[in-house]
Amino acid sequence: MILYPAIDLMDGKAVRLRQGRRDAVTVFGDPVDMAKQWRDLGAQWLHVVDLDAAFDGSTKALLLLEKMAAAFQGSVELGGGLRSVEDIRLRMEAGIRVCIIGSAACEHPSVVEEACAQWPKRIVVGIDAKNGMAAVHGWVETTEKRAVNLALEMKKLGVERIIYTDVSKDGMMQGPNLPEVSTMVRETGMQITGSGGVSCMKDILNLQEAGCEGAILGRALYEGAVDLAEALEKTGGVRK
């Protein structure tokens, strides 16, 4: 199982939001220092979300992303505000290994198709959901499309992996939505990364048992509820 420590960026700082709300933010510090910290503890992947771009549609973080990628010295995946092939190209040039397409996957699937053709196996789709329905634009709008159906549409376009986030759980440390995650794994046959609500080691193991290829760890890491080195050992992750 791959564990992805998460760093959410807002105004150049590492932050966490509760339920995706812009007015419910906790600042945790310098994102470059955080990237180094997670690498030193054994992480091989880093999950980064550009919240400014997710909310406003444009990024101010390209230079910061370059610094984070250089500091981490592993594989960095990035989501937030990726709505065109040009958006993706800019991030790839900044040292990002995998780009995560969110809202555009639902609204402009041709972007996903073109990106998969240009960067095979380097495009992931992030599906955020409320009550099993896909949510877009920084989680502030819920669509009428089932998250599972959206994933199946992305599979036809060449996407192999989905990051599934239950918005009602994100940042709340109340445990992931295991029934919905299990449904996504079972009905799509895709690689599913569980995200949102992880509060303890048991939650991670539950996601692993549900068939997830990985788990994204946010607030639980920052507040000390999960020890990354221990989690890597217990899930079969590789430590360096």
Could you read off the pLDDT of 168-199 as tens digits, one per residue?
655 455 788 899 999 999 999 999 999 988 99
- CB contact at 8 A, 195 and 165: yes
- Who has greater pLDDT, 136 or 68? 68
| Percentage of the chain modeled with pLDDT above 70 | 90
Please state the pTM of the whole predicted model: 0.91
Lowest-confidence region among 4-13, 98-107, 170-179: 170-179
Confidence of residue 135 (pLDDT cuts 50, 70, 90): confident
Tens-digit pLDDT profile for residues 195-234: 988 999 999 999 999 999 999 998 899 889 999 999 999 9
**Residue 240: pLDDT band with limits 50, 70, 90:** very low
pLDDT: is 145 or 117 the higher one? 117
Residues carrying an active site annotation: 8, 128
Whole-number Å distance between alpha carbons of 233 and 240: 11
- What confidence score (pLDDT) does residue 23 get? 63
Helix, strand, coil distribution of the chain in percent, nearest 5: 40, 30, 35
